[in-house]
């Protein structure tokens, strides 16, 4: 099977059966994302254990790329720390916009590299990541005053 076909199958599968889709009770952080270019809407809810994303779920309506991307993202960041999740965002952003970026070590997220052939859809794929980033920032801002141990 061609790599492109494999990637397309991952996107189709995650669009048809989105993982971690639905409400999340007692979420610690949430954010909403909207991509006016395409009409994709997304609500992201997170449960945090200290610095770690213990659980993450999403709701909303969007195109196949935005839904598949959000599904892949929730799988990828669950169990990760804030810093790890944001670093992954950087890698995915590179994958979406930089033809030279390689995603071999990104697992299923590498399927998103197919999107860079369609620049108009990059925002569809990155919407969930921008929304995650703002949810993490909002939750960091609302926690008790930072105590530095350094
Ligand atoms: Zn879209």
The CA 119 to ligand 1 mean position distance, Å, reads: 11
pLDDT in tens, 75-128: 999 999 999 999 999 999 999 999 888 888 899 999 999 899 888 999 999 999
Q: Residue 146 — pLDDT band, cuts 50, 70, 90?
A: low
Which CATH number does 3-140 carry? 3.90.1010.10
Question: How far is residue 28's CA from residue 123's CA, in Å, rounded to a whole number?
Answer: 26
The CA 51 to ligand 1 mean position distance, Å, reads: 30
Q: Can you give the three-state secondary structure of 59-94, one letter per residue?
A: EEECCHHHHHHHHHHHHHHCCCEHHHHHHHHHHHHH
The CA 146 to ligand 1 mean position distance, Å, reads: 37
The CA 148 to ligand 1 mean position distance, Å, reads: 41
CA dihedral (94, 99, 104, 107) positive or negative: positive
pLDDT at 11 (0 to 100): 95
The CA 145 to ligand 1 mean position distance, Å, reads: 38
The CA 29 to ligand 1 mean position distance, Å, reads: 24
Tokens of 94: 């590179």
Q: Is the pLDDT of residue 12 over 70?
A: yes
| β-bridge partners, 111 | none
The CA 28 to ligand 1 mean position distance, Å, reads: 27
The helix/strand/coil state of 29 is strand
């Amino acid at each position: 099977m061609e790599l492109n076909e494999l990637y397309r199958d991952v996107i189709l599968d995650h669009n048809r059966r989105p993982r971690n889709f639905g409400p999340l009770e007692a979420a610690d952080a949430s954010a909403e994302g909207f991509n006016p270019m395409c009409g994709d809407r997304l609500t992201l809810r997170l449960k945090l254990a200290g610095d770690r994303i213990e659980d993450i779920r999403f709701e909303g309506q969007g195109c196949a790329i935005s839904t598949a991307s959000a599904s892949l993202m929730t799988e990828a960041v669950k169990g990760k720390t804030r810093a790890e999740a944001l670093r992954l965002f950087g890698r995915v952003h590179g994958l979406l916009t930089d033809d030279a970026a390689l995603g071999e070590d990104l697992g299923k997220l590498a399927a998103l590299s197919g999107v860079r052939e369609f620049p108009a859809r990059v925002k569809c794929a990155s919407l969930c990541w921008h929304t995650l980033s703002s949810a993490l920032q909002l939750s960091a801002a609302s926690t008790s005053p930072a105590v530095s141990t350094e």
